[in-house]
């Protein structure tokens, strides 16, 4: 059976020693009284909840899955899921970073990020129920009418109701311009929606009394394509004027998808048969409102893979220290045993360190993004707010795609550490591989994220935002460039940072001549930039650790951080050289292949 220990110490290191988030709170009145002790206490309690309440349900949830009663259209979640959710509500976790106006605690979003990383390590399938609700909350908080906010936000904040995002249809996924669900206006100002949705995570369940579906649909006179999409609130049960629940709305679960992983989450086929909904925002501008939820979900998906990378690493490390196989090539290491623990073998260490480096680098990046969101929303300086929003937009596709790709590498590597036992269900490792695989696909495949990054976020503004991130790298290089002890961490990012401008300009010029060149290079480009971002944070973490060691701090935590940083720059970061070469290979070897693909 797997185990899980919340990485509280590493979270505190990133928050307080690397990012120093509380230093900014003086300029964020909402968080001015949130100090390091408060944050640490919340993180510790969140870790306990994840490890003690949701983690024990993970394997059984995967085994049992969700059950649909086709006559009533009701779904039963795995044993313990509903009780765990009730405890989640009782602990106030749903309201952690929500607006106090609607019953929230108003704590930093950064703490919410810590909470959800640990919940995803513990049980990704369970965590998707409250995770999607938080995205629905964000969308309605940004774009809902005062009446909609009064009706739905307090219940989403408290967790009494959950939310979904209903986008995908059987004939269209990412290309939402093709969707067919119809919304007919009614005399009372509501709309009746008819259509079919698929792949709706947490689309039906027994954990709450109501589910708030955010549905994309077309009005009768809507223009074709994505410019003709509107967003609607379609609750499972209609809500009376006094806030009580009314009659059942005809929005039903017609089936549950049979999936590779996340079996404990109800991935529903949803049928709308004249379901009553209310319009969110302006007609035909639903994507603008839904993008609030979609971007929150994309950051959340990256966090899902971060969580799985961490828990897979922890269990592979324990196994590698205990499992004995063969002898070390350089001589016997465990003289009292018939063979050496497999952790003595270099390639086993490579697999373990790969997962560790990707987990700790991903943690630094996601916490940085969460802190940017706190600054974007609540900082008193408008320039800081705008620049924070711009950086988050740049980094969101990297969080989604780079972290999920890394999660795929890491969970597979950790399963490999177990050898044949990794392929056996009781050890838990194969579930982490299966659960992680969806993260590379949904909320826009990683190819879509790459196209968004290179085509829209970078070439779309001539690299202006990329240059702003480049300034962060340049500042660190200038600060530590003459420090010989930092050279192994600084030189790689300085070299790649200098290359990025020419690399980006070259791809942009080729893309101007033939847009397919952008499509051919985008995936490799995102991974190169992902490594530059990770390299920046690994250099910052190494900087802090090195200073502590030089000051005489004997805590092995800092030596471990330096050793992991050295591994990352020596073994993982050099992937950028190959990726830049393949990104420059052009599109002809992909498109001039009709004979090969006949």
List residues with catalytic annotation: 443
Between CA 397 and CA 403, with CA 399 as vertex, the angle to 5 degrees is: 120
Secondary structure (DSSP) of 476-506: HHHHHTT-GGGHHHHHHHHHHHHHHHHHHHH
CB neighbour list of residue 576: distance below 8 Å, 6 or more residues apart: 496, 527, 528, 531, 532
Phi and psi (nearest 5°) for 555?
Answer: -60, 120
Tokens 């999660």 map to which residue? 407
- Partners of residue 275 on adjacent β-strands: 193
Virtual torsion, Cα 11, 12, 18, 24, nearest 10 deg: 110
Secondary structure (DSSP) of 21-64: GGGGGGG-GGGTT--HHHHHHHHHHHHHHIIIIIGGGHHHHHHH
CB neighbour list of residue 415: distance below 8 Å, 6 or more residues apart: 312, 316, 422, 423, 429, 430, 432, 433
In Å, how far are 21, 113, 269, 316 from 32, measured between CA atoms? Answer: 11, 19, 45, 40
- Structural element, H or E, at residue 428: none
Structure tokens at 569: 């720059």
DSSP tag of 174: S
**Residue 498 and residue 303: Cα distance in Å, rounded?**
30
For residue 99, which of 144, 59, 65, 54 has the smallest C-alpha distance? 144
- Strand, helix or coil at 229? strand
Secondary structure (DSSP) of 320-356: HHH-B-S--TTS-S-TTSSS-BGGGSHHHHHHHHHHH
- Partners of residue 218 on adjacent β-strands: 182
Tokens 């979270």 map to which residue? 11
Phi and psi (nearest 5°) for 214?
Answer: -100, 115
Tokens 């039963």 map to which residue? 76
Specify whether the CB–CB gap between 130 and 159 falls below 8 A.
yes
Structure tokens at 385: 């707010």
**Residue 154 and residue 554: Cα distance in Å, rounded?**
48
- Structural element, H or E, at residue 563: helix 556-567
Phi and psi (nearest 5°) for 212?
Answer: -100, 105
Positive or negative CA dihedral for 175, 201, 125, 368? positive
Chain CA centroid to CA 51, Å: 20
Structure tokens at 436: 């992680």
**Residue 208 and residue 432: Cα distance in Å, rounded?**
27
**Residue 47 and residue 74: Cα distance in Å, rounded?**
32
């Amino acid at each position: 059976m797997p185990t899980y220990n919340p990485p509280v110490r590493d979270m505190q290191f990133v928050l307080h020693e690397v990012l120093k988030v509380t230093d900014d709170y003086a300029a964020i009145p909402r968080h001015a009284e949130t100090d390091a002790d408060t944050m640490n206490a919340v993180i510790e309690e969140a870790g306990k909840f994840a490890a003690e309440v949701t983690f024990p349900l993970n394997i059984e949830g995967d085994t049992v899955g969700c059950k649909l009663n086709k006559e009533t259209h009701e779904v039963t979640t795995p044993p313990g899921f509903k009780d765990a959710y009730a405890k989640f509500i009782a602990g106030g976790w749903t309201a952690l970073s929500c607006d106090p106006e609607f019953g929230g605690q108003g704590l930093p979003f950064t703490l919410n990020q810590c909470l959800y990383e640990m919940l995803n390590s513990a049980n990704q399938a369970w965590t998707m129920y409250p995770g999607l609700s938080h995205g629905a909350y964000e969308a309605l908080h940004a774009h809902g009418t005062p009446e909609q906010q009064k009706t739905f936000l307090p219940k989403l904040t408290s967790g009494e109701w959950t939310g979904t995002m209903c986008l995908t249809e059987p004939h269209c996924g990412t290309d939402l311009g093709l969707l067919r669900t119809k919304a007919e206006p009614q005399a009372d100002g509501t709309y009746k929606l008819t259509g079919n949705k698929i792949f709706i995570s947490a689309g039906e369940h027994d954990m709450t009394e109501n589910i708030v579906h955010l549905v994309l649909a077309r009005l009768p006179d809507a223009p074709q394509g994505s410019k003709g999409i509107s967003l609607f609130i379609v609750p499972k049960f209609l809500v009376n004027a006094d806030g009580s629940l009314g009659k059942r709305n005809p929005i039903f679960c017609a089936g549950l998808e049979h999936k590779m992983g996340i079996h404990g989450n109800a991935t529903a086929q949803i049928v709308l048969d004249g379901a009553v909904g209310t319009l969110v925002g302006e007609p035909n501008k639903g994507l603008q409102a839904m993008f609030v939820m979609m971007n929150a979900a994309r950051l959340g998906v990256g966090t899902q893979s971060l969580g799985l990378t961490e828990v897979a690493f922890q269990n592979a490390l324990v196994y590698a220290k205990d499992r004995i196989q063969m002898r070390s090539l350089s001589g016997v290491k465990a003289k009292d045993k018939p063979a050496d623990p497999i952790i003595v073998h270099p390639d086993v260490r490579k697999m373990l360190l790969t997962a560790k480096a990707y987990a700790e680098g991903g943690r630094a990046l996601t916490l940085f993004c969460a802190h940017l969101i706190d600054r974007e929303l609540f900082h008193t300086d408008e320039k800081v707010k705008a620049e924070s929003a711009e950086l988050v937009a740049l980094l969101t596709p990297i969080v989604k795609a780079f972290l999920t790709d890394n999660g795929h590498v890491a969970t597979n590597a950790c399963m490999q550490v177990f050898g044949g036992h990794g392929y056996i269900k009781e050890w838990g490792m194969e579930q982490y591989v299966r659960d992680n695989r969806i993260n590379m696909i949904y909320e826009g495949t990683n190819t879509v994220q790459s196209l968004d990054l290179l085509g829209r976020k970078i070439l779309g503004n001539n690299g202006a935002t990329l240059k702003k991130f480049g300034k962060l790298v340049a500042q660190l290089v200038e600060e530590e460039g003459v420090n010989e002890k930092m050279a192994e961490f600084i030189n790689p990012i300085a070299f790649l940072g200098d290359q990025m401008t020419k690399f980006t300009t070259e791809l942009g010029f080729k893309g101007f001549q033939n847009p397919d060149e952008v499509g051919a290079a985008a995936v490799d480009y995102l991974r190169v930039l992902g490594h530059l971002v990770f390299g920046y944070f690994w250099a910052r973490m190494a900087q802090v650790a090195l200073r502590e060691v030089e000051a005489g701090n004997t805590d092995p935590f800092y030596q471990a951080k330096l050793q992991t940083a050295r591994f990352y720059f020596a073994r993982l970061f050099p992937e950028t050289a190959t990726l830049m070469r393949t990104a420059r290979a052009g599109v002809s070897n992909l498109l001039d292949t009709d004979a090969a693909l006949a």
